[in-house]
Structure 1
Amino acid sequence: MKLERLISIIYKLLNHEVLSASMLAEEFQVSQRTIYRDIDVICAAGFPVVSYQGSNGGYGMMDGYKMDKSLLGSYDINSLITVLRSLSTVFDDKRAQGTIERLQTIEAEKRDVSLSVDLETYRTESDALRNIRMAIARQTIVRFDYINARNEHTTRYLEPVRLYFKYRNWYVYGFCRTRLDYRGFRLSRLMNLSLTQETFEPHQDIPEEGEALNKAVNEQPVDVLIRVNKEALAEALDQFNQVDKDFHDDGSMTMRIPVFRPLEAKWLWTILMGFGGGAEILEPLELRRVIKERLQKALQLYEDV
């Protein structure tokens, strides 16, 4: 613990102009006398610690003293700091904050922020993220209720392996003891998550997420062709930016969206119906019928309006 505290103090002194002994003592839950001894040890190790007197006094590093930038080679330090800040906010991770402070010590100079990453999540999802990450670190089985894409309600016991962020959503991946296979679960569909007391040993060969989630590896996507009115261009681009697009003289746009099994892709139906009258499905014809039937069912709910 002492060595860890000494290293942390060094990085804090490198990142701040002046830190008082009382401030350091409160943060590390030790006495000021212990901090004085720590500072002596740091000075004896060759770090140029300067003592400042007065009401705003304390300790700091000699101006211009920085650690060797070659520690990270060609990495973009500012970008790493930005991403870590976002992750430390999501997970409330003090270790990530410590890494940020260490990275800041090797910045050549302060620069204006040119990159910002916001992984904002709902509070319930943030709690799930932290609990699952804890379970992964402790190799603890988690239990939760789950609603799948077919709206089926099941209870699962999972050996969590990793968390991943994809298509603006968080997922947990691991070995499902209910299905006896590796599965990925979207966190927004998890309910009543809890950590059990049972631990597990990781399996030898863990498949990648894509191998487990996409069984039809030889299946080819089907092109869904939609025509978007100019009033819905921005929303359509937000949803399907990386697809083939053709803009027309009247301000409309045609998009060709490759989708696996579009007649079963409820996520796609939801997006397309969300455009209202702003987009029309041109192909395939079967998908036009599916959307028409769903819209008719929705209208039945409002017949008395």
Structure 2
Amino acid sequence: MRIERLFNILLYLLNHQKVTAAQLSEVFQVSKRTIYRDIDTLSSSGVPLFTVLGVNGGIQLMENYRLNRFTFSEAEKNILIQSLNTQHTLIETDKATELVYKINLLQEGEQTSAFQVNFTEATLHRGSIERDVQNKLSAIQTAMSVGEKIQINYIAGDGTTTKRIVQPLELLLKDGSWYLSAYCELRKSQRLFKLTRIRSFEHLPLKNDYLSKDDLMVETPNLTTIELQFEKNQLGKLYDYFLEKEMSLCDTCINVRFKYDSRKNILPFLLMFGSNVKVIAPIALKNSYQDEVKKMNES
């Protein structure tokens, strides 16, 4: 028990410039005499503590000890720089560039990197589309940082256009495209919006109705089991989407069984395989897939 208290006292001192024995006594629910004994124990263990007398006095750590505990190593600085460079590649921000510059100034000796990761082609967009998406990413980040809602004109996959007021929650890079996860006031629930389909938006004045994450309704996935059958020549492609344990290889085909959120539309994914896939279960999905294929053949 005492060892735990000694450790917690040290953490408390690291996070506070100066504290009195009375404060420590109240925080740790022991007498001031016990606190003084603990301080003596820490000092004899090599922790550079000293006591300042007087009205504004107290117990504190030597400043260089505090700095040493919170200074990043060269390897840690490199990791931070690589992470910031990655963020800047995906989402162009002046803040990331400025922070990389500041960390570089703190590096000692020759700057080295353990590894490099290139995300310059992380999306499926052409260059001109990517620049438009980057502008939207920057504007949405600004709204999120100050707690603003935005009003968007959104075009769904079927061409339907709606005007919505949304509260941005997070940005997602998914399947080669950027999405905005936001609380939609029109649908009264959390929704995903593809950034390329947000045709216009405007920042709305700050109000007091901005919902916290605790206030938002968190939708739990409604998982259902899907069974598919593929031609054997699709094996390489299947490893892009399924785990080995979800696949069963037969002499003439590949059977796949996996869980999927039934609230999401899986038909576009299935149509990507053309005639190389058959839906086995559930029956409702099998019928929907056959209807979609029939429409395509008739068009």
Distance 1:174 1:229, change over 3 A: closer
Q: CA deviation at 1:106?
A: 3.8
Q: Find the counterpart in structure 1 of residue 98 from structure 2.
A: 98
**Alignment partner of 1:274 out of 251, 272, 275:** 272
Q: Which amino acid aligns with 1:97?
A: T
Instruction: Please give the per-residue CA displacement for 1:110-166, whole angstroms capped at 9, x wherever unaligned.
Output: 245254445445333222111111222233332211244776432012233433444
Q: Which has the larger radius of gyration?
A: 2
What corresponds to 1:226 in structure 2? Answer: 228
Unaligned runs of 5+ in 1: 1-66
Query: Could you report, residue by residue, the CA deviation over 1:174-223 in whole angstroms, capped at 9, with x for unpaired residues?
Result: 443434x45233233643322235223464632498x54x2xx4x75221
Over 3 Å counting, the alpha-carbon distance change for 1:150 and 1:204 in structure 2 is same
Change in CA separation of 1:80 and 1:242 when aligned onto 2, cut-off 3 Å: farther
Match of 1:259 in 2: 260
Query: Contact 1:169 / 1:186 at 8 angstroms: preserved in 2?
Result: no
Identify which range, 127-136 or 105-114, moves more after superposition: 105-114
Match of 2:286 in 1: 288
Measured after TM superposition, the shift of residue 276 of structure 1 is 1.1
What TM-score do the two structures reach when normalised by structure 1?
Answer: 0.60
How big is the shift at 1:78?
Answer: 4.1
Map 1:59-138 to 2 at 5 A. 71-72=71-72, 77-104=77-104, 105-106=106-107, 110-111=112-113, 113=115, 115-118=117-120, 119-120=122-123, 122-138=130-146
Aligned residue for 1:145? 153
Retained in 1: the 8 A contact 2:74–2:108? no
Contact 1:128–1:187, Cα closer than 8 Å, also in 2: no
Residue number among 278, 282, 300 corresponding to 2:298 in the alignment: 300
Per the alignment, in what secondary structure is the counterpart of residue 198 of structure 1?
A: coil
* CA contact 2:92–2:134 (8 Å) conserved in 1: no
In structure 2, relative to structure 1, the CA distance for the partners of 1:77 and 1:124 (3 Å cut) is: same
Q: Residue 205 of structure 2 corresponds to which residue in structure 1? A: 198
Structure 2: gaps of 5 or more residues: 1-66
Q: CA deviation at 1:68?
A: 7.4
1:107 to partner: Cα distance: 7.5
RMSD value, Cα: 3.5
- Matched residue SS, 1:205: coil
C-alpha change, 1:112 and 1:195, in structure 2 (3 Å) is: same
Q: Give the TM-score normalised by the residue count of structure 2.
A: 0.61
The one-letter code matched in structure 2 to 1:90 is L
Percent identity between the two aligned chains: 15
Indicate the residue corresponding to 2:164 in structure 1.
156
Are the aligned partners of 1:147 and 1:189 in contact in 2 as well (CA < 8 Å)? no
Letter in 2 for 1:221: L
User: Does the aligned pair in 1 maintain the 2:156–2:197 contact within 8 Å?
Assistant: no
Q: Distance in 2 between matches of 1:124 and 1:103?
A: 30
Helix, strand or coil at the partner of 2:136: helix
Name the residue aligned to 1:4: none
